[in-house]
Amino acid sequence: MPDDRKKKPKTTAEAKIPGAYEGETVSRRRFMTTSAHTAGGIATAAFTLPALGMAFGPVFEKHEQQWEVVGPTADFPDDTYIPRTLTISRGIGEVGKTTVYVRKYNDKLDHEAKDEYNDYVAISTRCMHLGCPVRYVEASERFICPCHGGVYDIEGTVSGGPPVRPLDRFYTRVRSGNVEVGPRYSLNSELRRFSPRDPGMPIDGVGQYVYPARPTVRKIPGT
Amino acid sequence: MAITPERPKTTERPEPAAPKEPSPRKEKLQDKGISTVDWLDERTSLSAGTRWLLFRKIPRGTNWFYTLGSASMFAFLSQAVTGVFLAMYYDPSATRAYESVRYLTNEVFLGEFVRGMHKWGSTVMVILVFLHMARTFFFGAYKYPRELNWVIGVVLLILTLFMSFTGYLLPFDQRSYWATTVGVAINGTGPLVGPYLSDFLRAGPEFTTTTLARFYAIHMLLLPAIIAAMIGAHLYLVARLGTTAPPWIRADTSPELREDKA
């Protein structure tokens, strides 16, 4: 079968380009154009890539959460919550603080598996609908969100409204008679621990894959 | 003696018809003006460009609804100008932002007024952009050959809403803080990319001072630049393609009438 396609000329002389040199495969004009474009591309990339790297870097940086003393163990009963202030972002005053509700682990009440990190239960006030601050109402033993009507029971599991999963918690430990609150973690509806997710992300079933854990925040391995 | 052309000496006895002629001073000024414009035009061809952009033929039936686009553009210009001057007082740090806005509002001469223009102007701009979009839709002005201009318009609408979102955080009071917390959480509910998008917006897993600086930079540098460029493209296409007649203006059907007009 004859090849109908035009044979691509190998040299500029074959292509009948005026001023072709013997054995030249690229015309000087094309060479100049290509080098100028390449130089422009490299120059643009040289300032664009570092700038983009700076903008997207925080998505991949690990964020360390310090352990912070919230009070002596005697402060916290096992049937109701004591609010404490926790600094989650340093150096920016009030904005970097959040409220955490702390009580002693209660065998009759709690369903979360007992281990070294939950002698004291520390519940985050971040509503799992869209992140508004919930407050604990002692009379009804419920956490109530002011924004869109999310309601949680004393364990922090959803008892009504739009939230998609139980309230986040913080790891706790006891050091020299003081309760210390550490990194945040999320829970599915069976109160199993997951790396922290943002509000609005269900982590039951496929949810944990649809809303993957981020490199910035991880639960303590093996918990 | 050299022969010099005789000139009437009008200065010695003023004629009663003098007001008919422009005074030499005024003539001189006019000449100066014309020569300046000519100098510029010779080097830029601005007059041709201006004629191309502004002195276009427009279809019969063009009405007040066709001013919504210009209105949106002037809303943007107003936001841009007031924004620049607000930026002279604003401090985008988590500890100083609220205080700087309070100072701007309560202490600075006309501060409250300019801030008010920016605040209410943003709402006005969103409303105008939507009305402009509705006009385009109901008049069928998005059809061939103006599809691309519709697409650019939609991009401009989205950018305008991004502006509203990023600007809402800047006063840094309780309302803006929690509204942004909720807004970022809504962004995060997008499957797969959502969690990373939230981290990008906050510059990390928690709301920090970087979040505020980031929103500020996006609000006052990135988005305005893109919007200005997009408005340029939008206007170029409007001038190039012309505007559409309203749908109730029908093409003449009688061939005689058409001939008469020609």
pLDDT, one tens digit per residue, over A23-43 is 888 889 999 999 999 999 999
Interface contact A212-B94, CB threshold 8 A = no
- The proportion of chain B whose per-residue pLDDT surpasses 90, expressed as a percent, equals 79
Q: Taking Cα atoms as reference points, which of B86, B75, B158 lies closest to residue B122?
A: B75
Task: Please count the other Cβ atoms lying within 10 Å of the Cβ belonging to residue A177.
Answer: 9
Inter-chain CB pairs, A–B, below 8 Å: 88
Contact (CB<8Å) A198/B185? yes
Q: Mean per-residue pLDDT for B230-246?
A: 95
Question: In this predicted structure, what is the pLDDT of residue A92?
Answer: 81
pLDDT in tens, B121-156: 999 999 999 999 999 999 999 999 999 999 999 999
Note if the bond before B195 is cis, omega within 30 degrees.
Answer: no
CA-CA distance, A161 to A142, in Å (whole number)? 12
CA-to-CA distance for B74 and B89, rounded, in angstroms?
24
pLDDT at B241: 95
Distance CA B159, CA B164 (A): 9
Enter the tokens of residue A192: 């199993």
Structure tokens at B80: 């841009």
Q: Span B160-165, mean pLDDT?
A: 97
Residues of B in contact with A61 (CB under 8 A): 204
Instruction: Answer for the pair B169, B212: CB distance below 8 angstroms, yes or no.
Output: yes
Residue A6 has pLDDT above 80, yes or no: no
Token pair of A11 as six digits: 């040299």
Scanning every residue of chain A, which has its alpha carbon at the shortest distance from the alpha carbon of B196? A59
Q: In chain A, which residues have their Cβ closer than 8 Å to the Cβ of B178?
A: 131-133, 147
**Across all residues in chain A, what is the average pLDDT?**
92
ipTM of this model?
A: 0.85
Q: SS3 helix, strand, coil % of chain B, rounded to 5?
A: 70, 0, 30
**Residue of chain A with shortest Cα separation from B215:** A55
Tokens of B254: 């009688």
Helix (H, G, I), strand (E, B) or coil at B133: helix
The CA distances from residue B121 to B24, B75, B91, B153, in Å, are 48, 7, 21, 19
The Cα B113–Cα B134 span in angstroms is 31
CB–CB of B195 and A214 under 8 A? yes
Instruction: Identify the closest residue of chain A to B193 by CA–CA distance.
Output: A211
A187 CA: distance to closest CA in chain B (Å) = 16
Query: Across the interface, do B95 and A92 touch by the CB < 8 Å criterion?
Result: yes
Do B195 and A93 lie within an 8 Å CB cutoff? no
Mean pLDDT of chain B: 90
Interface touch B186/A200, C-beta < 8 Å:
yes
Exposed/middle/buried for B60, CB within 10 Å: 0-12, 13-18, 19+? exposed
A158-167, B8-17, B44-53: the lowest-pLDDT one: B8-17
Hey, what are A98's tokens?
A: 């959040």
pLDDT of B17 strictly over 60: no
CB contact under 8 A, B182 and A131: yes
CB contact under 8 A, B195 and A217: no
Q: What is the pLDDT of residues B216-232, one digit of tens each?
A: 999 999 999 999 999 99
pLDDT-derived band at B6, boundaries 50, 70, 90: low
How confident is residue A153, by pLDDT bands cut at 50, 70 and 90?
very high
d(C-alpha B137, C-alpha B157), whole Å: 14
Percent of chain A exceeding pLDDT 90 equals: 75
When CB atoms are compared, the residue of A56, A131, A212 closest to B200 is A56
B21 burial (CB, 10 Å; 0-12 / 13-18 / 19+) is exposed
Residues of B in contact with A127 (CB under 8 A): none
DSSP structure class, residue B219: I
- A212 to B195: CB separation less than 8 angstroms, yes or no: yes
Write out chain A residues lying below 8 Å of B91, CB-based: none
Closest chain A CA to residue B205:
A216
Here the tokens at position B259 are 């001939």
Output the DSSP codes for B204-248: SSS--HHHHHHHHHIIIIIHHHHHHHHHHHHHHHHHHH-PPPPTT
| Residue B9 DSSP SS3 | coil
Which position has the higher pLDDT, A92 or B174?
B174
User: pLDDT tens digits for A67-108?
Assistant: 999 999 999 999 999 999 999 888 788 888 999 999 999 999
Q: Give the integer Cα–Cα distance in Å for A216 and B83.
A: 34
Residue reference for tokens 């991949």: A60
Output the CA angle B94-B221-A42, nearest 5 degrees. 115
A64 falls in which pLDDT band (50, 70, 90)? confident
Return the half-sphere exposure (C-beta side, CA atoms, 13 A cut-off) of residue B31. 7
Residue from the list A59, A131, A199 with its beta carbon closest to the beta carbon of B196: A59
Structural domains in chain B, sorted by start: 63-241 (1.20.810.10)
CA distance B27 to B32: 9
pLDDT of residue B1: 46
pTM of the model: 0.85
Helices (H), chain A: 28-56, 207-210
Residue among A93, A131, A211 whose CB faces B195 most closely: A211
Q: B46-54 and B24-44 are packed helices; what angle lies between their axes, rounded to 10 degrees?
A: 90
